[in-house]
Amino acid sequence: MKSAPVTIKDIAKALNISISTVSRALRGMPEIHPDTRSAVMRLAEEWDYQPNQLAKNLAKSRTKTIGVIVPNLSYYFFSAMLNSIEDAAIQAGYSVLVCQSNESYLRETMQIQNLLRSQVEGFILSLSRDTSNCAHVERLIQKNVPLVLFDRYADNMAASKVMVDNREAAFKATEHLIENGCRRIAFLAGPPQLVLSNQRLAGYRDALTKHGLYMGDQYVFHCDYTQENTLMQTLALMSLPQPPDGLLTVSDRIAYPAMYAMKQKGVRIPDDVAVVSFNNEPLSSLFSPSLTSISQPIQEMGMETVRLLLRQLEATDGPITPETTVMPTQLVVRESSLRMKSADFLNGVLSS
């Protein structure tokens, strides 16, 4: 039971002037007489007038709003990206509508439709785990709706993308394990339909091959990002006839339960199994052992994503050719992968 909100019509009536004058005064147009303006402002203030954004947007046929859909905001990576995206968007005068797909293809499709109906002018999108069919995204592209994908994208899509060099990152992570004496390196991958998971898998294979350690994918297991599933996959991995002595995981969120399961089994980290992961969440440094992880430049990725979208939003002449930005990663070495032999340690100390 709330009273009807005050409109410019109310103000106009009270002041005995026309609504257009009120409208102009409120928006600070220069042609308005100072007295009129101050009278309008006073009343608006006093009545706590709030412009109706719906009406405003409808009248201008513009919302200056972009829709953001991510799989799940409880993942550090996505909530951090959201913050970065929001900052950049606000900076550019846009506001943001956020939705979660909850890793569901169906929900993703519905969210796109909802946002479309809410007249968002463009999309920033990271695909759900269960999205293999991309017809819904293709339709956006066909309609020339400005769109940028980040992190979780699909191949063969004529859309702008922002991502890190997943292959290279996995390659250097794997090499790091090799340098630390690992010979049987396992990979806890993500769902097979995730491009980024496959790219990281490729980097992992390449590194092993380069060092003559590739023995097929017997050490590759796929996880679905849930804790239970990861625990199971890890146990399966460790009960292999020849258990691994090194482990690469596709995400910190997978590394945590994996490390837990191994510790429960009496496996020492890094001595028995060295671990490297992806994402470098703030928590990864607090675990014991602290977790070596690939860090992504989240801040910059968010800004870049918005930049690519703005380029499309503000394009005047025809559809824009999609751009892809590949950003660099950094391996943050911590305890979970450091197996310093005493000789190496001494060398390190002496040479510094």
Q: Which two tokens stand for residue 151?
A: 């992190």
Stretch binding DNA (CB under 7 A), from 34-42, 135-143, 272-280, 337-345? 34-42
Pick between residue 51 and residue 181 the one whose CB is nearest to DNA.
51
Q: Give the residue with the Cβ less far from DNA, 46 or 179.
A: 46
Least gap, CB of 29 to a copy of itself (angstroms): 20
Using alpha carbons only, what angle is made at residue 29 by residues 26 and 35, rounded to the nearest 5 degrees?
A: 70
Cα distance between the two ends of the chain: 73
Q: How far is CA 91 from CA 3, 84, 85, 96, 296, in A?
A: 34, 11, 10, 11, 22
Binder among 1, 2, 3, 35 for DNA (CB under 7 A): 35
Distance CA 49, CA 14 (A): 13
Torsion over CA of 219, 339, 275 and 246, rounded to 10 degrees? 0
* Binding region for a copy of itself (CB under 8 A): 1-3, 48, 50-55, 57-58, 63, 72-74, 76, 79-80, 82-83, 86, 95, 97-98, 100, 102, 113-114, 116-119, 139, 143-146, 227, 256-257, 259-260, 263, 282-283, 285-288, 315-320
Q: Which does 8 bind (CB under 5 to 8 A by kind): a copy of itself, DNA, none?
A: DNA
Based on the shown chain and the rule CB under 7 A, indicate whether residue 45 belongs to the binding site for DNA.
no
Can you give 175-199 as a three-state secondary structure string?
HHHHHCCCCCEEEEECCCCCHHHHH
CA torsion 330→253→303→168, rounded to 10°? 40
Question: Among residues 8 and 262, whose Cβ is nearest to DNA?
Answer: 8
* CB 55 to a copy of itself: min, Å: 6
- Residues contributing to the site for DNA (CB under 7 A): 4-5, 7-9, 16-21, 23-27, 30-33, 35-37, 49-52, 55-56, 58-61
